[in-house]
Structure formats: structure tokens, C-alpha cells
Amino acid sequence: MLFTKPTKLLFVGDSITDCGRDYQANGIDLGSGYVAQVQALLSAHHPDAQMCILNTGISGNRVTDLELRWDTDVLAHQPDWVVLMIGINDVWRHFDNPRMEQVSLEAYSAKLERLIQRTLPEVKGVIVMSPFFLESNLGDPMREMMDLYGTASRVIAERLGQRFVDVQAAFDVWLAHNESAQLCADRVHPNAIGHTIIASAFLNAVGFNW
């Protein structure tokens, strides 16, 4: 597996990462989503891993929000690895709140790359997870835009030599056989099945031994 022991692994992002965590717990409360599933699977299958997992995701965040809180919510925890999933709200706000100031693809790319570059001197690595949209119609306008932001996150991760987790691709495999309504109503916030897909994609990408 990618991680040596002991390891402090910090997950940061939006509501998909947050998933109801207690903000007063200083990252220790992992919420009820994929981060908690990752922790449970690592503990069950690798009891000797000596891993400390933190969750500092905040619902509604865009990359601009991460910029403002990166020092206190990421670097201050002194993690060994940072796992970053951001971009869903950067895209979604173009559709559900077009009057607010938007994060363009160019701005998203530039800000994401700067955050990773700032972090790399302080950690062993940054693992970038793609944003996603639970829609199998590739011509859907929001799916089209999400794919562009997801591709940008991949390009940045690869250019900086960091590991990339294609969460959208993992969902697409499932959506080839099932309807997105079986995962969620809004095509963004998945149920436990969806969070298991995310957790599995992450663990596969880091060489987890099932």
C-alpha cells in the first residue's frame, strides 16, 4: 500500500467529504460518508497500519473557499498525506446560482494547482480525487462541464507527479447498469452505496490489499 506507518491522512473538500461531520471536533469526527468508510476498511484489513485519519471537508465549499482556510484546516494539522476532492460546487453554482461570482475553469485550474504546490513541500504527497456528477448522459450540460473540471484536476495531478483518483469513472461503471436515482435525488449527494464506490476507488488507487 502507498502509505508507510505511522501516517496521518487528511481529507479535505466539500459536502461529499464533510458528510455531516462535527465541525467542533477539529477533524477527528469523520462524518458518515466515504472518509469514515476508508477508515473502517483500513482498520479492518490493515490493523497494523497505525493511521490517523482526519476530515476537514465543509459543505458548499469551492476551490476559492479552500484557499481561505488551507493554512488552518490543512497545513496546521501537519498531515503526511492530503486527499483533495473539490470542484462539484465550482460547477454546480453555474447552474443553480448563476448570479453569484463564478469560478471559471481557468480559475479553478490555477487555484487548485497553487494549493497543491503550496502543500507539496510539507507532505509526502497529495492525492487528487476528481469531482463528479451522477449523470450517464454525457451531453447533459452539467455533466459536460463537470468532465472539463475533472479533466483539469487530472492534468494538474499528473503534471505535479501526484496520484489521481478518477471518481467519475468509478461511478460511470456503476451507472452503466443502474439509474442515478438509486444513488441520490440530486445527482450529487450519494447514499451509502455511492460513498462505498468513492471509498473503493480511493483505496484501489493507493494499493489497498482487499
C-alpha cell at 135: 449523470
Section 70-97 average pLDDT: 98
pLDDT category at 210 given cuts 50, 70, 90 is confident
What pLDDT was estimated at residue 49? 87
C-alpha cell at 198: 468513492
Q: Helix 34-45 vs helix 192-205: angle between axes, to the nearest 10 degrees?
A: 50
User: Is residue 130 among the annotated active site residues?
Assistant: no
What pLDDT was estimated at residue 18? 98
Section 108-122 average pLDDT: 98
C-alpha cell at 4: 508507510
Per-residue pLDDT tens over the stretch 7-50: 999 999 999 999 999 999 999 999 999 999 999 999 999 999 89
**What is the SS3 string spanning 93-140?**
HHHHCCCCCCCCHHHHHHHHHHHHHHHHHHCCEEEEECCCCCCCCCCC
> DSSP string covering 7-54, please?
EEEEEEESHHHHTT--GGGTT----SSHHHHHHHHHHHH-TT--EEEE
pTM of the predicted structure, to 2 decimals: 0.98
Tell me the backbone φ, ψ of residue 54, rounded to 5 degrees: -120, 150
Section 181-207 average pLDDT: 97
Of residues 130, 166, 189, 195, which has the active-site annotation? 189
Section 106-115 average pLDDT: 98
* Rg, C-alpha atoms of the chain: 16
User: What are the structural domains, with CATH classification, of the chain?
Assistant: 7-205 (3.40.50.1110)
Exposure string for 87-121, b = 16+ CB within 10 A, e = fewer: bbbbbbbbeeeeeeeebebeebbebbbebbeebee
What pLDDT was estimated at residue 208? 94
User: Is residue 177 among the annotated active site residues?
Assistant: no
Of residues 22, 71, 96, 186, which has the active-site annotation? 186
User: Is residue 15 among the annotated active site residues?
Assistant: yes
Of residues 14, 15, 73, 147, which has the active-site annotation? 15
